[in-house]
Structure 1
């Protein structure tokens, strides 16, 4: 297959990020500061849910973009290719917004000492006993899956090697897990984040990805398959 993570990353970095950052920056300046009626914090802290969600979801989204471009080049099915393109386009732009907020806030794109991935959520990160979508995450982080729903290096290699319907089914299954993890993260931000524009983005992610989950379940059923148990 011709797709590669490097190629996908180059596309994501260049896809409308400039405009996304401009709009995100303007919205965040208006939302993160007080409205003049009462004093308030100007920016979230590095350990806040706002910053943690922005950091973690940017990483989560990047993998979805990469998987989408792998399957787009691995199948001729127009429905799957269209879904993959929509996911890649949406999540690349959202990733630009999330990284733009971190830049605006003057915060690093890596977690502060002592706070690993998902450390901003109640229960925090991978405890070794977390489950997601019925799947135990125990040990997955050792194969590159840093957060719930993320595919492992082994799974990404399988997707890169697959073709045709096999690629379609594997992509839909992996992306179902990925969306379920993303929905859980977005719900966490919708409940914990304090920057209004970020909370709205998170709620929008919940609604959009839930709709895509329903679509992917139908697409799997049409191929005689189902989400992974």
Structure 2
């Protein structure tokens, strides 16, 4: 199944590379388009990791389906963004140590989440919604109902944290195909978040605090 996801993602990347992403001038390294593609790839790839853990280990068919949908959708989108960055001749990941979300600053006037429950106008070291290493290790060790509940909590926080970046890119990115993908991220993650909130409530559990 994982091999099928990778093949599908690769095909999506090739299609993206061969079409709209190469038909006009490439955006600059400091643009919303490049910053969104780089940062959202990092965000998406962690979601793929968490979804893969749940898909492989849960016995709940509903959650297995949700995890598979998240894994396949976000892997495909991450590969599409990688295709853009290749065509634009930009690194596929942000520069190590430079921080994230600098592209959302609008000359230092626009504030965004600092990944710690507050707001900032500059780059952050941890994007909102991202799970820590300890949280990922905990997820890997759980099983049964505890695994399912913690997966829902982590993924809900992850979705809601990433939505801020997608909303900003949907409004401010220079390329229409970038805005289109960002809008898809907002729509799909809003729908999935609502579903996960319902499933958590059914289990008598609450969402994790925002980060």
TM-score when scaled to structure 1?
0.79
Evaluate the alpha carbon distance shift between residue 115 and residue 95 of structure 1 in structure 2; reply closer, same or farther with a 3 A threshold. same
Higher alpha-carbon Rg: 1
1:95 to 78, 84, 98: 78
Partners of 1:199 and 1:58 lie apart in 2 by: 15
The residue correspondences of 1:84-163 to structure 2 (distance < 5 A) are 84-111=67-94, 115-122=98-105, 130=113, 136=117, 146-163=126-143
Partners of 1:177 and 1:79 lie apart in 2 by: 19
Offset of residue 110 of structure 1: 3.6
**What does the per-residue CA deviation read over 1:158-200, in whole Å, with 9 as the maximum and x for residues that have no partner?**
1000101100110000001100111111011112110100101
Tell me the residue number matched to 2:42. Answer: 59
Partners of 1:69 and 1:52 lie apart in 2 by: 26
Matched, 1:200 2:180: yes
1:183 to 163, 170, 182: 163
Tell me the residue number matched to 1:29. Answer: 22
Evaluate the alpha carbon distance shift between residue 228 and residue 149 of structure 1 in structure 2; reply closer, same or farther with a 3 A threshold. same
Offset of residue 13 of structure 1: 8.1
What is the number of residues matched between the two proteins? 199
Offset of residue 122 of structure 1: 2.2
Q: The residue matched to 2:102 in structure 1 has which SS?
A: coil
Offset of residue 113 of structure 1: 8.5
**What does the per-residue CA deviation read over 1:189-219, in whole Å, with 9 as the maximum and x for residues that have no partner?**
1121101001011011101100000000011
Unaligned runs of 5+ in 1: 1-7, 34-41, 139-144
Unaligned runs of 5+ in 2: 120-124
TM-score when scaled to structure 2?
0.86
Evaluate the alpha carbon distance shift between residue 198 and residue 158 of structure 1 in structure 2; reply closer, same or farther with a 3 A threshold. same
Q: CA RMSD in A?
A: 2.6
Tell me the residue number matched to 1:170. Answer: 150
Counterpart contact for 2:5–2:72, Cα < 8 Å = no
